[in-house]
Amino acid sequence: MTKLIHSMVRVQDLSASIKFYRDALELEIVNQYHFNDFSLTYLANSETGFEIELTHNHDQHEPYVHGNGYGHIAVSVDCIYTAHKRLSTCGINASDIKSFDHEGELLATFFFITDPDGYKIEFIQRAGRYL
Protein backbone atom coordinates (compact mmCIF):
# COMPACT_ATOMS: atom_id res chain seq x y z
CA MET A 1 0.00 0.00 0.00
CA THR A 2 1.26 3.48 -0.82
CA LYS A 3 1.58 6.35 1.64
CA LEU A 4 1.52 10.02 0.60
CA ILE A 5 4.64 11.68 1.97
CA HIS A 6 5.05 15.10 0.35
CA SER A 7 4.06 17.50 -2.38
CA MET A 8 6.77 19.58 -4.07
CA VAL A 9 6.49 23.15 -5.28
CA ARG A 10 9.22 25.19 -6.94
CA VAL A 11 9.76 28.55 -5.28
CA GLN A 12 11.58 31.66 -6.43
CA ASP A 13 12.29 33.27 -3.04
CA LEU A 14 12.99 30.56 -0.46
CA SER A 15 12.96 32.88 2.57
CA ALA A 16 9.61 34.42 1.59
CA SER A 17 8.13 30.96 0.99
CA ILE A 18 9.35 29.58 4.33
CA LYS A 19 7.85 32.59 6.13
CA PHE A 20 4.57 32.21 4.24
CA TYR A 21 4.20 28.49 5.03
CA ARG A 22 5.12 29.11 8.68
CA ASP A 23 2.53 31.88 8.99
CA ALA A 24 -0.20 30.39 6.81
CA LEU A 25 -0.02 26.65 7.52
CA GLU A 26 1.94 26.65 10.79
CA LEU A 27 4.64 24.47 9.25
CA GLU A 28 8.24 24.33 10.43
CA ILE A 29 11.42 23.18 8.71
CA VAL A 30 11.93 19.44 9.23
CA ASN A 31 14.98 19.07 6.97
CA GLN A 32 16.91 21.27 4.61
CA TYR A 33 19.46 20.16 2.01
CA HIS A 34 21.64 22.65 0.11
CA PHE A 35 23.33 21.66 -3.14
CA ASN A 36 25.36 23.74 -5.60
CA ASP A 37 22.44 24.52 -7.92
CA PHE A 38 19.36 24.00 -5.74
CA SER A 39 18.02 23.56 -2.22
CA LEU A 40 15.34 21.24 -0.84
CA THR A 41 13.42 22.36 2.23
CA TYR A 42 10.86 20.06 3.88
CA LEU A 43 8.14 21.60 6.05
CA ALA A 44 5.60 19.86 8.29
CA ASN A 45 3.78 20.11 11.61
CA SER A 46 2.73 17.67 14.32
CA GLU A 47 -0.81 17.37 12.89
CA THR A 48 0.29 15.09 10.03
CA GLY A 49 3.32 13.32 8.63
CA PHE A 50 2.68 14.84 5.19
CA GLU A 51 5.29 17.40 4.12
CA ILE A 52 5.58 20.28 1.67
CA GLU A 53 8.88 20.20 -0.22
CA LEU A 54 10.07 23.62 -1.35
CA THR A 55 12.53 23.30 -4.23
CA HIS A 56 14.59 26.41 -4.78
CA ASN A 57 16.63 26.43 -8.00
CA HIS A 58 19.33 29.00 -7.32
CA ASP A 59 19.55 30.26 -10.91
CA GLN A 60 15.78 30.71 -11.41
CA HIS A 61 15.05 34.41 -11.90
CA GLU A 62 11.68 34.28 -13.68
CA PRO A 63 8.42 33.26 -11.99
CA TYR A 64 7.44 29.64 -12.58
CA VAL A 65 4.59 28.86 -14.96
CA HIS A 66 1.98 26.56 -13.41
CA GLY A 67 0.19 25.57 -16.59
CA ASN A 68 -3.50 24.76 -16.57
CA GLY A 69 -3.36 21.33 -14.94
CA TYR A 70 -2.33 22.20 -11.40
CA GLY A 71 -5.15 23.08 -9.02
CA HIS A 72 -4.33 23.44 -5.33
CA ILE A 73 -3.43 21.69 -2.11
CA ALA A 74 -5.94 21.59 0.73
CA VAL A 75 -5.70 21.67 4.50
CA SER A 76 -8.45 21.15 7.06
CA VAL A 77 -8.96 23.31 10.15
CA ASP A 78 -11.08 23.05 13.29
CA CYS A 79 -12.66 26.47 12.80
CA ILE A 80 -12.72 28.07 9.36
CA TYR A 81 -13.56 31.51 10.81
CA THR A 82 -10.66 31.46 13.29
CA ALA A 83 -8.26 30.37 10.54
CA HIS A 84 -9.51 33.12 8.22
CA LYS A 85 -9.05 35.76 10.93
CA ARG A 86 -5.57 34.45 11.88
CA LEU A 87 -4.38 34.66 8.26
CA SER A 88 -5.71 38.20 7.96
CA THR A 89 -3.79 39.11 11.13
CA CYS A 90 -0.63 37.70 9.47
CA GLY A 91 -1.23 39.95 6.45
CA ILE A 92 -2.21 37.05 4.19
CA ASN A 93 -5.06 37.81 1.80
CA ALA A 94 -7.79 35.15 1.97
CA SER A 95 -10.82 34.82 -0.29
CA ASP A 96 -14.30 35.04 1.18
CA ILE A 97 -15.53 32.00 3.11
CA LYS A 98 -17.98 29.99 0.99
CA SER A 99 -20.12 26.92 1.53
CA PHE A 100 -20.87 24.29 -1.03
CA ASP A 101 -23.77 21.79 -1.00
CA HIS A 102 -24.30 18.48 -2.77
CA GLU A 103 -27.81 17.05 -3.07
CA GLY A 104 -29.07 19.29 -0.29
CA GLU A 105 -26.31 18.50 2.22
CA LEU A 106 -23.34 20.65 3.16
CA LEU A 107 -20.22 19.30 1.47
CA ALA A 108 -17.66 21.93 2.44
CA THR A 109 -17.07 25.34 3.98
CA PHE A 110 -13.85 26.78 2.60
CA PHE A 111 -11.67 29.65 1.40
CA PHE A 112 -8.43 30.02 -0.57
CA ILE A 113 -5.10 31.75 -0.13
CA THR A 114 -2.19 32.05 -2.58
CA ASP A 115 1.49 31.55 -1.73
CA PRO A 116 4.28 33.89 -2.96
CA ASP A 117 4.70 31.82 -6.14
CA GLY A 118 1.01 31.75 -7.03
CA TYR A 119 0.13 28.28 -5.73
CA LYS A 120 -3.41 28.05 -4.36
CA ILE A 121 -4.11 26.57 -0.92
CA GLU A 122 -7.63 25.68 0.16
CA PHE A 123 -8.66 25.81 3.82
CA ILE A 124 -11.64 23.53 4.60
CA GLN A 125 -13.68 23.30 7.80
CA ARG A 126 -13.22 19.87 9.42
CA ALA A 127 -16.57 18.19 8.94
CA GLY A 128 -18.12 15.35 6.93
CA ARG A 129 -15.60 13.83 4.56
CA TYR A 130 -13.00 16.42 5.55
CA LEU A 131 -12.40 15.29 9.12
Kindly name the residue from 51, 53, 62, 122 that is annotated as catalytic: 122
Name the 3-class secondary structure at 80. Answer: helix
Name the 3-class secondary structure at 54. Answer: strand
- For the question of residue 51 being annotated catalytic, the response is no
Closest CA to 25 of 4, 46, 55: 46
Q: How far is CA 48 from CA 6, 25, 43, 104, in A?
A: 11, 12, 11, 31
Distance CA 108, CA 52 (A): 23
Distance CA 27, CA 129 (A): 23
Determine how many CB atoms are found less than 10 A away from the CB of residue 88. 11
Catalytic residues: 122
